[in-house]
Amino acid sequence: MTDPIAPSPAELTRRGAAFSRAWRMKEAYADLTAALRLAPDDPEARYQMGRHHMRNGHVEMALIAFHELRRRTPGYRDVAARFETCLGRLRFPPPFDITADLIAALDTGQIDDLQAARIIARVLTRRHGIAADMALDDTRIATITSNRLFRLYLRMCRNIDPAIEAVMRRLRRRAAGLEPGPALPAGLLADLAIGFANGDYVVDWPADEAAVADRLRTALTGAEAVVPGAVSSLVMTLALYEAPPVAAVAQTRSTAADDDGIAAFIARFHDEPLALAAEPVATLGRAEPATTDAVSARVRRQYEMAPYPRWRGLLPPAVRDFRETLARSLPLADLPASVTRHLPARPDILIAGCGTGRHPARRARATTCRSLLAIDISHASLAYAALKARELGLADEIRFARADILDLPALLPPASFDLVEAVGVLHHMDDAFRGWQVLRDLLRPGGWMRIGLYSRTARRHITRARVWLADRNWGKTPEDIRRFRRELIAGRLDPALDPLAAFADLHNLNHLRDLLFHEQELTFTPEMIRDHLDRLGLTFAGFSPSQPEILYAYRQRFPEDPTATDLDRWAALEADHPDAFLGMYQFWCYDPRQGDMSTGESAVRIQSSGGRSVHLPG
């Protein structure tokens, strides 16, 4: 007999979803599980269970829920977009094959390639049999050539898997004619070259391969005539070791036109370099940054030489207004009405230190805004950023301009923005507080900031390595960085550096440069963040850690702080979880002063590359 007062599946679902939003995770899971037990075909119960798993950081469980919902109720709500979001964040393969889903995401660019590389590599090694010691006979080469996921992985991602690197090395030697066997198919050779370029050629090579590369370079750049029809093979083989001459790449257009790897090769080594060279980069106010800060000058030189990171795709867009953006970024926040009352639906946004444009592209696809200005000190980084924005259809939504943060007081009027973001830039300045003060002065009353700073605790291994390298006067050239990587992987360095071998940045030369060989790096603690906020008159609103389970751990340990805004308690939690902020601290803060935001016209003027002053539209 049914209990007349027992809650219905719909009531259990509503209550479970409410518990989950309140981070009462055990009660949420109990109610949603009960709802699915009573009504296993109810799509809303399964949908809310998937959202609960995402909120809790259990991406693999969320993917399973959304996969089952796609199977049972195709087209339900935004489940397809949520499935794709989970796909790019997986750490371990699910019990079902996701090869087709990964291929579709890579084909369309609807995936964060920097984030998704790990799960794709694991699918390739665990489900597709890619192994360091695999046979590379003609049959296996044909299988690899026809493996769409493997080819797209080489084309779109930086490889981060040692077994796949071993296979790439062996294929490279085959292509160089140093291992027996027939030549590699042109399409596979093209994607293999892109794969090595995606790592910025961090994978080193022995002397016999260096000799081959020297001969190829001479043949393509010297006065000697090249046998007709042989140019394509020479160009693609040289591209396994370095970027080939752009003019020579054009001659590969007639090669195996039916294989899209060739088109991707031409786009990467011919079309993109020409487009970047021609990309106009605007400046704020003057042709060159005025600052004489020595650290800024060194950092600028680094990023002109090595723009970072070179990204390819992004997760599907999900545009929200500013209030919803804050709600999703700060799930535990309980902001007073005085803070939220005047939040603009479409804020004016400044992103300082935008690098190669991944950050502003993600913001433009996540938050409606009246204007979005993204600045950086590096011309090369901004050229890549502008090119990617155009590819994504965001050219009219983001204005890029070159400027040093320290010059902004002379270039922008105070109180110009509702939101200022500086994620990953202040800790590369000589005086992070000075830079932060400049940006804070650009906030309107009641404005918000999103800041990203390196954690002293989480970067303990990195700091140790930087000191070790400095003590030995280790160089910073590509050859020096490759040598460090080779010695680290071989276990021939100080054992104290061994933890670095697990870092994904080890698999890309410019990522590794940024990690260990950067011109300037500062680290912070929660106590330092609190002191800086106090000096700046800003209120801490909460962390947005990349791992939601860290928020849950905080709530479990400190239930007396339900909004998770006590930085002294965060310091205690980090002491017990030293890798909690391995990427960096990312947090939100705001100006508690009252005031109407987004009033008046956006007052930003950009100097175009042709010297014309351009008003940034509001």
Q: Is the pLDDT of residue 596 over 60?
A: no
Structural domain count of the chain? 4
**56 and 136 fall within a common domain:** no
**452 and 471 fall within a common domain:** no
Q: Angle of helix 43-55 relative to helix 9-21, nearest 10 degrees?
A: 20
How many Å apart are CA 38 and CA 20, to the nearest integer?
19
Write the CATH number for 25: 1.25.40.10
Domain assignment present for residue 319? The answer is: no
Q: What pLDDT digit, counting tens, does each position of 169-226 carry? A: 999 999 999 998 889 999 999 999 999 999 999 999 999 999 999 999 999 987 554 5
Residue 417, beta-bridge partner list? 443
Residue 500 structural domain: 460-516
**597 and 538 fall within a common domain:** yes
Q: Is the pLDDT of residue 611 over 70?
A: no
- The pTM for the full model equals 0.92
Short-list 389, 319, 324, CA closest to 360: 389
**87 and 67 fall within a common domain:** yes
Q: What pLDDT digit, counting tens, does each position of 370-404 carry? A: 999 999 999 999 999 999 999 999 999 999 999 99
Query: Cis peptide before 273, with omega less than 30 degrees from 0?
Result: no
pLDDT given for residue 88 in this prediction: 83
**357 and 505 fall within a common domain:** no
Q: Is the pLDDT of residue 336 over 90?
A: no
pLDDT given for residue 447 in this prediction: 97
Distances (CA, A) of 309 to 200, 202, 458, 510: 10, 14, 21, 7
Q: What pLDDT digit, counting tens, does each position of 158-169 carry? A: 999 999 999 999
Domain assignment present for residue 30? The answer is: yes
Residue 153 DSSP SS3: helix
**439 and 539 fall within a common domain:** yes
DSSP string, 368-390: --SEEEEEES-HHHHHHHHHHHH
Domain assignment present for residue 306? The answer is: no
pLDDT given for residue 610 in this prediction: 42
**437 and 584 fall within a common domain:** yes
Half-sphere exposure of 550 (CA within 13 A, CB side): 22
Domain assignment present for residue 103? The answer is: no
**485 and 450 fall within a common domain:** no
- The β-bridge relationship of strands 585-590 and 399-402 is unpaired
Q: How confident is the model at residue 569 (pLDDT cuts 50, 70, 90)?
A: very high
Q: How confident is the model at residue 570 (pLDDT cuts 50, 70, 90)?
A: very high
pLDDT given for residue 516 in this prediction: 98
How many Å apart are CA 431 and CA 452, to the nearest integer?
15
**402 and 470 fall within a common domain:** no
Domain assignment present for residue 432? The answer is: yes
Q: Is the pLDDT of residue 598 over 60?
A: no
- Out of 37, 64, 96, pick the residue that ends a domain: 96
Domain assignment present for residue 101? The answer is: no
Short-list 269, 265, 272, CA closest to 190: 265
Domain assignment present for residue 320? The answer is: no
**Per-chain mean pLDDT for the chain:** 91
